[in-house]
Amino acid sequence: MGAGVFIFDLYRYHSGIHTLVNGVDTVVDTPSHLGVTGNYPLLLIAIVITILPLITIFMYKERKRQIAMTAVSLIGTLSFIAMALNYISRITPAPLNGSYYIGSVLPCVSVVFLIMALLGIRKDDKLVKSMDRLR
């Protein structure tokens, strides 16, 4: 999920540039797009939210650390969403002439999957603790 923000744009909009052609003011409509590469803090958080869940997958023997890293990844993803919304609102000229693209939806889907992962890890932890009590 996290790698998709590098491939897809966050926001696409049309910016109108006023030009004078033969004394007539015309508006040239130019399509523009915003991605993570235009903002370095956003790029750094995108790298973290891409790599951290991949590392967390292989820590299945240390469930406490896995829960902590998943929570950090969840907080990072939520901060990415907040920073992306802030970045888009600062850069775009008017909110009515653009639309959010696939790159802005993927972190929202990632939040759902991270919450499901937290619930699954906690469920596994309870199962292991109950098995230890039976011994």
pLDDT for the residue numbered 4: 87
**Residue pLDDT tens, the chain, 135 long:** 778 888 898 888 777 666 666 766 666 667 778 888 888 999 999 999 999 999 999 988 889 999 999 999 999 999 999 999 888 888 776 656 778 889 889 999 999 999 999 999 999 989 888 887 765
Domains of the chain with bracketed CATH = 4-134 (1.20.140)
The per-residue pLDDT for 109 is 95
**How many Å is the Cα radius of gyration of the chain?**
21
Which residue from 117, 36, 6, 128 is spatially nearest to 69, judged by alpha carbons?
117
Distances in Å between the Cα of 101 and the Cα atoms of 6, 22, 38, 75, 98 are 12, 37, 16, 22, 9
CB proximity list for 55: less than 8 A, separation 6 or greater = 69
Q: What is the pLDDT of residue 92?
A: 73
Strand pairing partners for 19? Answer: 26
